[in-house]
Amino acid sequence: MRSFKLLIVVTCAALTAEPVRSAPSETRITPPGATVIVEFAERVDDAVSRDLLDWIDHVADQVSMPYGRFPLATTRVVIIPTEERTSSGRSPVPFGRVTRRGGETIELYVDVDRPIADMYADWTATHEFSHLLLPKISWRQKWISEGFASYYQNVLMARAGQYSQAQAVRKLSQGFDRGRGSRPELSPNQAAEEGVRYARYKIYWSGAAIALLADLRLRSRSDGKESLDTVLGRFQQCCLQSKKRWSGIQFFTRLDSLIDEPVFMPLYREHADTPGFPDTNNALSHPLLHEQVLGVRTSPN
């Protein structure tokens, strides 16, 4: 892990007989080409905070893997300690979200009493960081933003060694099964209209399936020279910093403009307004999924 550059913003605290040791209110980490500002919403013990900062540094490295640099120049991460009884199930990170008002901020609710190894094994932070690979997408095509993040959460954790390839394939397969069984009468666009409360698995996993299909088509036709990674890398250089909110058609059309032959809009026309679920059986057994997509990669540093 890289060393941290500390920025102490709040320098005074209430005097007590035994001062509470806590992390600085803000800490800067520097993944490739970027600054990530990590803030603790509440005081956390120094040893715990150091472990959590190492973990965030690791996740920032993960999302730098697709094209060798962090997606955005500046991002803020807010760690919000939460008590175990408020957790959903047994997840050490029961909730996360990305807000894009006044700059991108990732909020992570973290059970700070859990062992740090549990954080590394959990997918929530990787999912939220993966949202940064895409621009703001219209809620009417929420399946693209949530689906691509769901795809990359598994791909990046395999590349970083948190999952074996077999585990990643199993998790993708299980997700696709959930998506297939969720509101089969709806298309992805209709599911987005219904909202996450009523069609969560259809939204998350239909988009992940389309991301996988696009990735494999790009790799197959280019002998591995093109991929979803490389196309998103080109999009990052030209367009990701834009403040506009993209429709699904606008985004997929722009991605197709960055490659020689369209891939994304043909998939959109095939699946976006079609009830049911994309066929992923052949994709999950495709040799390129193991040989290239899930291949373990070290940090870009």
Show the tokens assigned to 235: 């999009």
Dmax (CA) for the chain in angstroms is: 69
Predicted pLDDT of residue 89: 60
CA distance 283 to 106: 31
Distance CA 167, CA 163 (A): 6
Q: Which two tokens stand for residue 63?
A: 């999302």
SS3 64: helix
With tokens 């715990």, the residue in question is 48
Band (pLDDT 50/70/90 cuts) for residue 296 is: low
- Whole-number pLDDT of residue 297: 62
With 0-12 CB in 10 A as exposed, 13-18 as middle and 19+ as buried, what is 271? buried
In the chain, % of residues over pLDDT 90: 83
| Pair 256, 171: CB distance under 8 Å | no
Residues 148 and 92 in one domain: no
Pair (227, 172) in one structural domain: yes
pLDDT band, very low/low/confident/very high, at 295 (cuts 50, 70, 90): confident
Tell me the per-residue pLDDT of 26-67, one tens digit each, with 9 for 90 and over.
Answer: 899 999 989 999 999 999 999 999 999 999 999 999 999 999
Residues 213-229: tens digit of each pLDDT: 999 999 999 999 999 99
Q: Which of 93, 78, 90, 172 is nearest to 126 (CA)?
A: 93
pLDDT value of position 246? 97
The last residue of a domain, from among 73, 101, 133: 133
Query: How many other C-beta atoms are found inside a 10 Å radius of the C-beta of residue 91?
Result: 16
d(CA 301, CA 32): 7
Over residues 14-24, the mean pLDDT reads 40
pLDDT confidence tier of residue 211, bands split at 50, 70 and 90: very high
The mean predicted confidence, pLDDT, of the chain is 90
**Strand pairing partners for 6?**
27
Same domain, 155 and 283: yes
220's CB contacts (< 8 A; 6+ apart) are: 288
Decide if pLDDT at 21 tops 90. Answer: no
| 101 pLDDT tier (thresholds 50, 70, 90) | confident
pLDDT in tens, 245-275: 999 999 999 999 999 999 999 999 999 999 9
pLDDT tens digit string along 157-167?
Answer: 999 999 999 99
Asked if 281 contacts 287 with a C-beta cutoff of 8 angstroms, the reply is no
DSSP 8-state symbol, 275: S
C-beta separation of 57 from 119 below 8 A:
no
232-241 mean pLDDT: 96
Q: What CATH number should be reported for the domain holding residue 264? A: 1.10.390.10
Closest CA to 120 of 71, 54, 186: 54
Count of domains forming the chain: 2
- Same-domain pairing of 117 and 71: yes
Residue 23 has pLDDT above 80, yes or no: no
Q: List % helix, strand, coil for the chain (3-state, nearest 5).
A: 50, 10, 40
Q: Which domain holds residue 49?
A: 5-133
Q: Which of 133, 167, 194 is the last residue of a domain?
A: 133
- Which pLDDT score is estimated for 6? 33
Q: Considering the entire predicted model, what is its pTM? A: 0.89
Do 194 and 251 lie in one domain? The reply is yes
